[in-house]
Chains A and B, each alone.
Chain A
């Protein structure tokens, strides 16, 4: 009753190919966009942006990136943290080397650099699969972090070994550095997340996405219908790393302001993004957002309930959080391998029939 597609006829393939073929979905999507672009920027405060919205949006971009590689192309990667570091450090080098160029362009180029690095580290995927590939990407993770700590050129020979984002502006509004307004931080993250999601969605529903999914589902059959596995896998690595690089650049330049490769982009980052797409849903753009939202909001809620409301020690709350995340991952892997996105799909199927059972 609430949610129906009856009477919603498609008369062209273009209409049938759109992202939200059902009218109700489309209006809901427009409503969410309107709220996030037109209303939220005026409501947000410093805590809300720093604790929830900015990390949620930035992690969403990273999750979209990893989802393209793991969810759509079936190549497991544990190198996300390392690739985020590539994005962050290349953004830093660009910001300091070309101070007059817009930060937006720097972030996009940082994504491009990460794409190249990602494709290079994707080369082993042509020979190895699954578990072994995961270990190979783990090598990328450790190598990249080691490289950024070791070679002082990357952090401009600063004494602390940290990289610090200088102040940069977009239309005279500072978006990096110490004077960032919360809404500006929110808006730049939102715009990047929105554009990334649209691009990722277009790529995954088109020819390239079918190439990736063909490789994921059965690589031999993919090859027999004319998919070049080299091109398919490397393009997945490159495009995935592009998004991960952008999220790394945003994470450092906009969100943290100062970063150190080992602390900010360690193996935990790789795992948390992987958890996001497992819980959110492999092979789904919506799932990337859902997983990121859950894993960002969960610690905040736990802290509110546990530490602030019940008065437990913060150490205990942090451990409870680990337990819950671990439990969630096991439950999702066993009960619903396609994650929150699949639960959402099932809910929609049910809603189409509601209130009648059949």
Chain B
């Protein structure tokens, strides 16, 4: 896995290059405005959190980035270029990987096969080579298996690599899903509530993995999370959404002290 920690380690955010920039995104479903004129950017090598109360439009935002929804207004700039409207699989080929809020693994396949599907964008041997299992296809199988094994090693799921995914407990499934996203060597990794439904220990494990991924591979991460403690500890910068609008943006401490955010998200004190 190549380390792409360009500009990494610099705390001065003006130095880092912009991976993705959202400009005035508006998304409507019929009359419902899910996202209203939101702009923010994601910088190289940072962990960017998107938070907000239920129904704030966080998941919609992630779906816009990963190409599930196409916004009615606004532009998405990826690596300095305006992104045309792309289908989700084309977005994936640009190097954007994601996990889902509800685990979306391939239940009928083993852990290893699930992780290997994450390498599909890197495999392009022709069908005849695959039918004979000779030449390019065999080479690719071995090369990509090597990548897959490194990620399996990294996320400490070696012992279950041949187990069917349907037999795994929830926490491990989440980790396998992270492995599948990570193995494609994404330049931007989107995590939709990576810690939802986990106990404290699993949350700590997952937080460690997210930090390690960011640290060791220099992967840029955008995540949605409800656990405020986790968000404040993990992320470099936070976007706060409420009712489809952006009400705060900045370092965790700034956001924590922002009166709008306190009112909308953390709630006004009643005592």
Contact = CB atoms under 8 A, between A and B. Distances in A.
Interface of A: 12-14, 16-17, 199, 202-203, 206-208, 210-211, 213-214, 216-218, 220-229, 235, 239, 283
A224 B142 contact: no
Contacts of A13: 141-142, 145-146, 149
Contacts of A14: 138, 142
A210 B137 contact: no
10 A-B pairs closest in CB distance = A226-B92, A221-B104, A217-B106, A226-B121, A202-B133, A207-B123, A13-B145, A223-B88, A199-B131, A206-B130
Contact of A283 (B87, B97, B108): B108
A13 B120 CA distance: 17
Interface residues of B, number: 40
B127 interface: yes
29 contacts: A13-B142, A17-B145, A203-B127, A203-B130, A203-B131, A206-B137, A207-B120, A207-B125, A207-B140, A208-B127, A208-B130, A210-B109, A210-B116, A213-B106, A216-B106, A217-B105, A217-B106, A217-B107, A217-B108, A217-B109, A220-B104, A221-B105, A221-B106, A223-B88, A224-B104, A225-B89, A225-B117, A227-B89, A229-B89
Contacts of A199: 131-132
B113 A207 contact: no
Contacts of A17: 141-142, 145
B92 A225 contact: yes
Contact of B120 (A203, A216, A225): A225
Interface of B: 66, 68, 87-89, 92-93, 97-98, 100, 104-109, 113, 116-118, 120-121, 123, 125, 127, 130-133, 137-138, 140-142, 145-146, 149, 180-181, 184
A225 B88 CA distance: 8
Given A203-B127, A210-B116, 14 more contacts: A13-B146, A206-B130, A213-B109, A218-B107, A221-B100, A224-B68, A224-B89, A225-B89, A225-B92, A225-B97, A225-B120, A226-B89, A226-B120, A227-B117
A11 B56 CA distance: 51
A225 B145 CA distance: 17
B120 A202 contact: no
B105 A218 contact: yes
Contacts of A221: 100, 104-106
Contacts of A235: 127
Contacts of B89: 223-229
Given A199-B131, A210-B120, A226 B108 contact: no
Contacts of A203: 127, 130-131
A225 B184 contact: yes
A214 B117 contact: yes
B255 to A, nearest CB: 29
B122 to A, nearest CB: 9
A226 B184 CA distance: 10
Contacts of A239: 127
Contact of B113 (A16, A202, A210, A227): A210
Best-surrounded residue of B87, B88, B97, B105 (most CB of chain A within 10 A): B88
A218 B88 contact: no
A224 B117 contact: no
A17 B110 CA distance: 13
A210 B117 contact: yes
Contact of B108 (A12, A216, A227): A216
A337 to B, nearest CB: 11
Nearest to B146: A13
B101 to A, nearest CB: 12
Nearest to B116: A210
B137 to A, nearest CB: 6
A128 B92 CA distance: 24
Contacts of B118: 225
A213 B133 contact: no
B142 A207 contact: no
Contacts of A207: 120, 123, 125, 130, 137, 140-141
